[in-house]
Structure 1
């Protein structure tokens, strides 16, 4: 059984002006997401600036999200690291906190071999009972999880149950599903590929777009699952200009900018992330206006 079906939000980590985590605001945006039918909260992922959180902050954000959500929808904790030992620690802490699953990204900077990836993910899986979602995003980490590697891990580790596929390669998604007999759950890691991945048998999306348009992102998946493929496709295509604007600079710079423009007051980014360039900000503002998103 899938951890969730639908649109899960890769939620931002709001900051105070002093750069510390703003837990009050995190609680507000979690409630906003649930009220607008988001199907899962994915905390401390790439969009949540996990790479610049201390281990203490990382764990506290997971605990806070689990407590705030209170089992209304699943909470998946980003627990990946380029250190296997650290990834095990974060995953075990997420399990203790009551998370419903762990999203584990490929080790970044190390550029592990496929053999190294097998050993890394296997070791984590052996040290937790949480369902694990592998996160393949070569553009951020420098290494791709090959379909054969995904299949090997899926068949050898019973709690590796899903993949967040952000390679951008639809053929790779098809190969993964073929090699796992369609039994592994796949979530799109790219907001512009939700419908293509659903058409191959995907379960939904782990979405940046959902931070500002949770209902619409939910509806793209819900319509498809209900058999309204035309409506799903039309909504996917309608959202494309906004999606492109949200990725015209490295994530999460644009989405945090967008949320602040909406008056959500999620605060600044942590270095080395910097404020959005003015030309790109103007593009983002226009895309939001075109979608009828009210700006403050």
Structure 2
């Protein structure tokens, strides 16, 4: 299996009650998901609340994650933003020991043209020593990276090896699968559509709920990749309610509530996010019990 086929986990960042980074909780989480059978880890993506972390906190989290992982599975670092040159500098300064790739979100807020998005990633491609994943999430960036732009980047830059696509557009997924290079990876950015995306030819998922249920989710993904949709479908359907609840009050509040429930780390998030409400936490507990 390719190192980035299967289930990647967008790791949460555990916090103590005072908002400081909970490193014992992060160790618990890394061991939990690796022992749960996932194929790789993504450190400090959106789910990791990277937007609220200071530069020195990010460096320590990346270093600690590599140390605890100890080369058990591949690691990807989330480094993105809307200032192209600042991101390129951050990538150049990144201590990449233990990491295999960078995941970088399409520029948010600025709403660049497709040519602007292309040139943004061209610049990053030319300034990273690691492989690069594109990340398209229009619901957060307010702009969509088109299938044409995605495939143009995939063909033009050998170190751009895949895209995490959370656009929700199957028309776009179809176009990418049709026009991409054979070895370029389309990866689901939304847990609920992972099964149908793999049916189209996607390589897997970068998952949120696999923080909490790594074994159940990664087993389902491996069944899909093996073409065993008959056994994957019941597993997929059984996880729908839990997944819905995890996103009901924003990410990562829901999945952190689940992680607190199973004793991995607390449910603390940093403002402007809020922890899951009591009603939602109770519903998440019930859904976890249903999943066993």
Q: Same fold (TM over 0.5)?
A: yes
Q: How many residues align?
A: 292
Q: CA deviation at 1:196?
A: 0.8
Residue 37 of structure 2 is matched in structure 1 by 37
Which is further off, 175-184 or 199-208? 175-184
What SS does the corresponding residue of 2:96 show, helix, strand or coil?
A: helix
- TM-score for the superposition, normalised by structure 2: 0.95
Deviations 1:103-158 (A, max 9, x none): 11111111121111111111111001211111100111111110010011111111
**Cα distance in 1, alignment partners of residues 289 and 251 from structure 2:** 20
Matched, 1:248 2:236: no
Contact 1:5 1:203 in 2 (8 A): yes
What RMSD, in angstroms, separates the aligned Cα atoms of the two structures? 1.6
Contact 1:259 1:265 in 2 (8 A): yes
**Cα distance in 1, alignment partners of residues 94 and 167 from structure 2:** 26
Question: Is the alpha carbon distance of 1:266 and 1:83 closer, same or farther for their aligned partners in structure 2, counting shifts above 3 Å?
Answer: farther
Deviations 1:49-106 (A, max 9, x none): 0111112211221121112212110001101112112322332344533311111111
Which is further off, 205-214 or 59-68? 59-68
Question: Is the alpha carbon distance of 1:95 and 1:153 closer, same or farther for their aligned partners in structure 2, counting shifts above 3 Å?
Answer: farther
What SS does the corresponding residue of 1:132 show, helix, strand or coil?
A: strand
Contact 2:38 2:215 in 1 (8 A): yes
**Cα distance in 2, alignment partners of residues 168 and 83 from structure 1:** 26
What SS does the corresponding residue of 1:144 show, helix, strand or coil?
A: coil
Q: CA deviation at 1:182?
A: 4.2
Contact 2:191 2:208 in 1 (8 A): yes
**Cα distance in 2, alignment partners of residues 70 and 99 from structure 1:** 11
Query: How do residues 1-296 of structure 1 correspond to structure 2 at under 5 angstroms?
Result: 2-94=2-94, 96-292=96-292
Which is further off, 92-101 or 19-28? 92-101
Unaligned runs of 5+ in 2: none
